[in-house]
Amino acid sequence: MIKAITFDLWDTVIHDDSDEPKRAAQGLRTKKEERRHLLWEALNAQEPLAIETVMQAYDVADAAFNHVWHNQFVTWTVRERLQVILTGLGRTLPEVIFAQVIADHEEMEVRIPPDTTPGIANALGELSTRHPLAVVSDAIVSPGRCLRDWLDLYQLKDHFNGFAFSDEVGHSKPHRDMFAKAASDLGVEINEMMHIGDRDHNDVKGPHALGMKAILYTGTRDKDKNITTADAICEHHSELPAIIDQLVNR
Write the CB contacts of 96 (distance below 8 Å, at least 6 apart in sequence): none
The pLDDT tens digits for 31-81 are: 999 999 999 999 999 999 999 999 999 999 999 999 999 999 999 999 999
In 3D, which of 117, 176, 119, 168 has the Cα closest to residue 145?
168
In 3D, which of 33, 137, 16, 142 has the Cα closest to residue 81?
142
What pLDDT shows up at residue 32?
97
Q: Are 247 and 215 in contact (CB under 8 A)?
A: yes
Rg of the Cα trace of the chain?
19
Neighbours of 242 (CB within 10 A): 11
Neighbours of 123 (CB within 10 A): 23
Q: Percent of the chain having pLDDT more than 70?
A: 100
Write the CB contacts of 31 (distance below 8 Å, at least 6 apart in sequence): 17, 19, 20, 23, 108, 109, 141
**Burial class of residue 195 (count of CB atoms within 10 Å of its CB; 0-12, 13-18, 19+):** buried
- Enumerate residue ranges in the chain where pLDDT < 50: none
What pLDDT shows up at residue 249?
81
In the chain, CATH 3.40.50.1000 covers 4-18+115-248
What pLDDT shows up at residue 250?
74
What pLDDT shows up at residue 172?
98
CATH of domain 4-18+115-248: 3.40.50.1000
Question: For residues 155 and 149, what is the distance between their CA atoms, to the nearest angstrom?
Answer: 10
